[in-house]
Every structure is written in structure tokens, then in C-alpha cells.
Chain A
Amino acid sequence: EVQVLESGGGLVQPGGSLRLSCAASGFTFTSYAMTWVRRPPGKGLEWVSAVSGNGRTTYYADSVKGRFTVSRDNSHNTLFLQMNNLRAEDTAVYYCAKVLTWRGAIDYWGQGTLVTVSS
């Protein structure tokens, strides 16, 4: 059974940093791209970032480019999102998800972890 489980969310002040982790199981981790998607309170889904299976190719939404860094540890089946210089508008539930086909559908999602940026 495919499972993805996020952790690392919490309350952080504007300008602060946070690192999200996502533990994956039930599939060959290195064979699939992984992605982060967020849902701000009262708003819809917003794609954040993605990384290819071998970790060499990364993509970012313009809203987080230069502040967020996605990476993966294929030896431990874990995905990361390093978030720096956080802003109030980054407040959201962050979902880790498996990408079915590169630039295609996102087929398995986690339950999400809440990030709140507030002073």
C-alpha cells in the first residue's frame, strides 16, 4: 500500500525557516517524481515544487522560487522541503504527493502538515 506521511509543520515567525519532511513507502521511491502542493486557508490547491526521481531536476512555483528548496534522500525514501524567508502568505496545509508520470497526474497524497507564519 502506497503511503506518504508529512511532518515538520508548525508556527514560525515571518522571515523564519522551516523544513518539512515526507516519508514514503509502498512503491519504488527512486522511480517516481515527488511534489509538494499547498492549500492556504479558505483558498484552493496551489502547486509549490517538484523533484524528479533521481533528484537532479527540480521545479518551483514563482511564488516560492529563491526561498524554498526541494530535495530527496532516496536511500531513506524521504522527500524534503526547506522553506526560508517565510511570509504570511505561505500559511497553508502542505501536502506531499507522488507523481504518477512526469508532468502528469499526482496519484497519492498525504494528509498534510500545517504551516502557520505569524508573529
Chain B
Amino acid sequence: GENVEQHPSTLSVQEGDSAVIKCTYSDSASNYFPWYKQELGKRPQLIIDIRSNVGEKKDQRIAVTLNKTAKHFSLHITETQPEDSAVYFCAASQPFSSGSARQLTFGSGTQLTVLP
């Protein structure tokens, strides 16, 4: 099955700096890569996702890049703010049309702390 590794596990940045979180995946059939943000005591919420036919996607201060050859994808947050402090999870999913398990496999999470 799919294996997703996420680094770093903790990340502290100064307000206004950029933060980068990296993930690698093992299954070349995976074609959907979402990122979720989970604030303390709350449910995970999708912040951005990328599909395998795209190399980069941006939404205001958040961007995700995908390198299918190397099987890794990254989350970039620019001009960080204290409210960006949360746990961030990457995930990878195989297409539903495949015969194998159709599920999201999550990374272990990154605790991002933005220091004022």
C-alpha cells in the first residue's frame, strides 16, 4: 500500500517568514495530494490540494508543488501569521478506478508554530 512520509514533525518560524513542509509518497499510481490543517481541538480541514496533472497550485499565501518523478510534494506558506499555527497533514490518494485500496493515506503531521 501507499506510504507517506512527512517532514519536519515540528517547525517554528518567525511571523512574516515562510514555512515549507515536505512529503514523499511511495505509490506512483497516487494522483491526488491534499493538505489539511488541524487547529487544536478541531477537525482537519482542507486548505489546498493538487492533482497529478498539475505541477504547482497557489491560493493566496499558500502554494503546493508536486514532483511526480521524485514522488514528493511540498506545502509553502508565505508571510506566516500567528493564526497559521496548527498541525498540517499531507495525504496521497490513488484513483477510484484502480483495483487497489482507494483511500487517503496521511503523513504523520507537522506542528507549525508561528512566533509573534
- Co-assembled chains A and B: no
A residues near B (Cβ < 8 Å) are: none
